[in-house]
Structures are given as C-alpha cells and as structure tokens.
C-alpha cells in the first residue's frame, strides 16, 4: 500500500514510521520539522505526496480554524487548498473534519472516513486520554490521588473511564452528569453522582476537578466556591467546561490539555490510528 501522511503532530510522524515498518510505501507533506525515517520523503507539494496513494491520512483533529493542523510543518495551508490538491477518488482518512471541509471533499469526488465517527477509534482514544489525565494530575499536583476528592464533569466515554481509574486509585470520585440514567449508572459503579445544578454544595471539598464536556457546565459561582489549592484540568475542546481565565484570576491552578494522547502517549496514539486505518482499508476492499 502507498500512504500519504499530511500534517499532524508527533502521532502522525510515528504513524508514518509504523506504516513503513510494516512494509508500506509512505510519503509525507507538512511534516518538515518531524523526525522521520530517511526512507520517507518529505514532499514539497501535496500533489506529489498524494499522487498514487491508496490512502491520504489527515491529522486528528484534521484542522483548526479552517487550516490544516500541522504544527510540525513549515506552513499550515487552508483546508480548501488541501482538498483541491487531492486526486478525485482518493480515500481520505482524518479526525474531526469540519462541515465545510467535508462538503468540499465530497464535491471534489473524494471518499471520506472520519475517525471520530468510528467507535473503535473513539473508545481507544478515550482510554488513552483517561490514562494521560491521571498521569497529568499526579505530575502536576503535590498530593496523591489516594484519599483525594475528585470531581469529574461529564459521563461520556472519557468521563466514565477517567472516573473509574481515579476511583481504582483510591480517590473519592463525584461525577456530574445531566442525564438521570448516567447518574444512576455512575452510582451503580460505586461513585457519587449529581446534577450540575447541585455542584455548588460540593465544590468546596474538591482537590481535583476534571472537565470532559465541550460546553460551559461549571458556573462562575461554583468556580468561586472551589478551595484555593484545587487543581482544574480541562480536557474538552473550546469553549471548555469553565471560564479558565476567571479560574486563574481567582488563584486556581488550571491545566488545559485537549488532544492529550498526542502529548502523553504519542506512540500508543499512533498505533491506535494505524489499527483504525487498517480496518478502514480492509472495509474498502470488501
């Protein structure tokens, strides 16, 4: 197989190396600053990189602000420029493709596969995020998790896995969730659970607060009730679950870590990408 790896962070660079190791031909674009095996060309044009490729791999997330996510590239081209450079009929795999980008790709005759729509990838990514979050809390705090009080906002894939990991390490975990069924499930698993409207009553007891919801669920009033030594970790994409600037202004410690697997475990994140891409390729052949 021939793969074109376009943009991305260290996960993309490691993915390229893993694909090469498995006997595939690999070209790269917008990864000029990445450490790649010598056998992987760093093409100067996207057309050259994508020519004859069985699969074009965009980053996860594929774009930020309408431009290719390419922190290891010399430039971040607009997504319309990326789409127009690809060959009709190409299979394009990426994560969290914008609506405008997806529509432009379909008009250009491209075949799209969004990794964030695949349960296998999303669940694996959630597990890596939860593990990375635990490591970050331990690294950045002077207290251990055993005996601490942790508030987890959200009961999606990441929130659920993180809450269970924190509890297994001896933390007293409270989960905030909107749906009654989610709160009931959390309680059935031995965790405390409440609605967002009841947070003010427990905020003053928390050592750690971790948000997994991409919406403001922690009010300014609740922020002001948190103890001064509390550590807040934001895992969700903007706008996030709380006002980070206000939290810092009132003396709280705030860590922002969207896309955590790419920072905490890039090799494992790259392997997860590779396995999901290989499944997509197999499905295309059926």
Asked if residue 103 and residue 53 are part of one domain, the reply reads yes
User: Could you please report the per-residue DSSP string of 95-164?
Assistant: SS--HHHHHHHHHTT-EEEEGGG-HHHHHHHHHHHHHHHHHHHHHH-SS-STT-EEEEE--SHHHHHHHH
Query: Residue 185 pLDDT more than 70?
Result: yes
* CA–CA gap between residue 117 and residue 161 (Å, rounded): 19
Domain of 61? 2-117
**Distance between CA 262 and CA 248 in Å, rounded?**
25
Among 101-105, 152-156, 259-263, 272-276, which is the least confidently predicted range? 259-263
Assess whether the previous peptide bond of 249 is cis (omega < 30° from 0): no
| Whether residue 87 sits in one domain with residue 215 | no
Beta bridge partners of 91: 111
Per-residue tokens: 169: 């390490």
Q: Report yes or no on 274 lying in a domain.
A: no
Do 9 and 106 have their domain in common? yes
Are 112 and 128 in a shared domain?
Answer: no
pLDDT tier for residue 286 given thresholds of 50, 70 and 90: low
Answer yes or no: is 214 within a domain: yes
pLDDT digits (tens, 9 = 90+) for 6-42: 999 999 999 999 999 999 999 999 999 999 999 999 9
Domain end point (choices 82, 102, 117): 117
**What is each CA distance from 126 to 44, 57, 100, 132, 149, in whole angstroms?**
34, 20, 26, 10, 22
Shared-domain flag, residues 144 and 252? yes
Average pLDDT over residues 80-101: 94
Q: Are residues 111 and 132 in the same domain?
A: no
Q: For residue 280, is it within any domain?
A: no
Q: What are phi and psi of 67, to 5 degrees?
A: -120, 155
Q: What is the pLDDT of residues 135-171, one digit of tens each?
A: 999 999 999 999 999 999 999 999 999 999 999 999 9
Q: Are both 35 and 54 inside the same structural domain?
A: yes
For residue 283, is it within any domain? no
284 lies in a domain?
no
Check residue 78 and report its DSSP letter: B
Q: Round the average pLDDT of the chain to a whole number and report it.
A: 96
Q: Please report which confidence band the pLDDT of residue 284 belongs to, taking 50, 70 and 90 as the band edges.
A: confident
Query: What's the structural domain count of the chain?
Result: 2
CATH classification at residue 210: 3.40.50.720
| Residue 68 covered by a domain | yes
Instruction: Please check whether residues 106 and 133 belong to one and the same domain.
Output: no
Question: Which one of 117, 151, 174 terminates a domain?
Answer: 117
Domain assignment of residue 275, yes or no: no
Q: What pLDDT was estimated at residue 118?
A: 95
Please name the residues in contact with 23: beta carbons below 8 A apart, sequence gap of 6 or more: none
Q: Decide which of 91, 117, 143 is a domain's last residue.
A: 117
Examine the domain organization and report whether 194 and 96 are in the same domain: no
pLDDT tens digit string along 52-73? 999 999 999 999 999 999 999 9
Tell me the pLDDT tens digit for each residue of 206-229: 999 999 999 999 999 999 999 999
Q: Do residues 53 and 151 share a domain?
A: no
Indicate if 111 and 241 belong to the same structural domain: no
DSSP-assigned states of every residue in 22-48: TT-EEEEES-TTS---TTS-B-SSHHH
Is the domain of 108 the same as that of 148?
no
For residue 277, tell me if it sits in a domain.
no
CA angle 159, 253, 183 (to 5 degrees): 25
């Amino acid at each position: 197989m021939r793969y074109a790896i376009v943009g991305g962070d260290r996960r993309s660079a490691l993915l390229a190396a893993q694909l090469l190791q498995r006997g595939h031909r690999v070209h790269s674009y917008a990864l000029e600053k990445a450490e790649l095996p010598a056998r992987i060309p760093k093409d100067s044009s996207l057309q050259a990189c994508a020519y004859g490729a069985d699969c074009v791999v965009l980053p996860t997330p594929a774009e930020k602000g309408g431009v290719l996510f390419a922190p290891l590239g010399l430039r971040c081209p607009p997504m319309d420029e990326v789409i127009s450079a690809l060959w009709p009929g190409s299979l394009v795999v990426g994560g969290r493709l914008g609506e405008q980008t997806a529509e432009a790709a379909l008009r250009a005759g491209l075949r799209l596969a969004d990794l964030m729509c695949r349960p296998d990838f999303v669940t694996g990514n959630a597990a890596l995020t939860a593990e990375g979050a635990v490591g970050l809390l331990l690294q950045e705090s002077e207290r251990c998790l055993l005996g601490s009080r942790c508030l987890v906002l959200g009961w999606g894939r990441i929130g659920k896995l993180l809450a269970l990991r924190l509890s297994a390490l001896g933390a007293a975990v409270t989960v905030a969730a909107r749906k009654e069924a989610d709160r009931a499930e959390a309680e059935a698993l031995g965790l405390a659970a409440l609605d967002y409207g009841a947070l003010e009553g427990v905020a003053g007891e928390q050592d750690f607060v971790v948000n997994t919801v991409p919406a403001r669920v922690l009010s300014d009033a609740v922020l002001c009730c948190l103890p001064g030594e509390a550590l807040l970790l934001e895992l969700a994409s903007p706008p996030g679950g709380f006002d980070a600037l206000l939290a810092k202004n009132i003396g709280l410690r705030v860590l922002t870590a969207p896309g955590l697997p790419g920072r905490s475990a890039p090799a494992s994140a790259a392997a997860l990408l590779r396995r999901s891409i290989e499944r997509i390729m197999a499905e295309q052949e059926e």
